[in-house]
Structure 1
Amino acid sequence: MLLTGMSGAGKTAALRGLASRGHAAVDLDYDGYSVLVRAPHQPVGWEQVWELVKVRALVDAHREGALFLAGTVRNQVQLYDRFDAVVLLTAPRDVLLARVEARTDNPYGKDAAGRAQIEHDIDVVEPLLRRGATHVVDSARPTDDVVDDLVRLAARLA
């Protein structure tokens, strides 16, 4: 299952909650699953894309139980056929921006260019993600409630 959404939507928090309950959970922003590429058309001048071969291998190698992956990149749609569900985690703009400002484990979005990128993505990218999602989860709620929803969804899909 892919968890996707804007910065501040709670993807990392959901993954942590899922992992604490014993589920396989991988943040595709790290460990070589994503790379930075130049993107002069973006406010920050770069964007992440997935290393498709590596992500595909991760998904294909998983054999037991649910696998929860999280990330939001331009080329993610190329792997939608590998996921039982594509879940958009979404929250109001003010919640997203407040979470990004408050987080201490990720500097992305703290400077003017990063904030402009997030504002752009809320307006332009989230509607695209919504159209491609199989499920939408309100992530403005407590993380445990979001994780409960994801676990129930995974059980229904099993």
Structure 2
Amino acid sequence: MTRVLVTGMSGVGKSALLRELARRGHRTVDTDYGDYYETVDGERLWRIDRIAALLDTAPDGPELLFVQGTTRNQTLFYPRFDHIVLLSAPADVLVERLRTRTDNPYGKDPAELTETLDNLAAVEPLLRASATLEVVTTVPVERVADIVLERVGTG
């Protein structure tokens, strides 16, 4: 199984991409939900045991597994992924998406919005340095999915 990490700042369209990939029949896991994270000293981190188990149980074969998440400790798992896909978008696009989205309350609070913009400046360059593919999500999600699938091996 090809393991693909989908990462990026809040509002870039990670969840929308996972929904589109699932609609197309691919296995997807959104680590923002379920038992995949823990809070340590106020910071959300991946639970090492749960992420390891997820990746360990992915069967061999031609299938794709898309795992979505952005945490400081995700780097521990980079060697376990075949591809690291960074989704990005300009700051003004992120602000508008966070302000208007209805499926997730994160980003509506001014402090959360500030945190996202700070992370855009400080964290996104680190994610970019490790990414095997970056897709700017100012195109429709269907096109983002096409680009990702073309790159990871199924078009």
Q: Which TM-score applies when normalising by structure 1? A: 0.90
Structure 2, unaligned runs of 5 or more: none
Pick the aligned partner of 1:56 from 52, 66, 85.
Answer: 52
Q: 2:69 maps to what in 1?
A: 71
Q: 1:113 maps to what in 2?
A: 111
Q: Which TM-score applies when normalising by structure 2? A: 0.92
| Cα distance in 2, alignment partners of residues 66 and 54 from structure 1 | 19
In terms of mean alpha carbon deviation, does 96-105 or 5-14 score higher? 96-105
Alpha-carbon offset, residue 47 of structure 1: 2.5
| Cα distance in 2, alignment partners of residues 99 and 108 from structure 1 | 11
Q: 1:18 maps to what in 2?
A: 21
Q: 1:4 maps to what in 2?
A: 7
Specify the code of the residue in structure 2 equivalent to 1:109: G
- Between the two proteins, the alignment pairs up a number of residues equal to 149
Structure 1, unaligned runs of 5 or more: 39-45
Alpha-carbon offset, residue 113 of structure 1: 1.1
Deviations along 1:15-60, one digit per CA (max 9) or x if unpaired, are: 000000000001011111012232xxxxxxx321100111111012
Specify the code of the residue in structure 1 equivalent to 2:43: E
Q: 1:43 maps to what in 2?
A: none
| Cα distance in 1, alignment partners of residues 147 and 113 from structure 2 | 29
Q: 1:154 maps to what in 2?
A: 152
Alpha-carbon offset, residue 154 of structure 1: 2.2
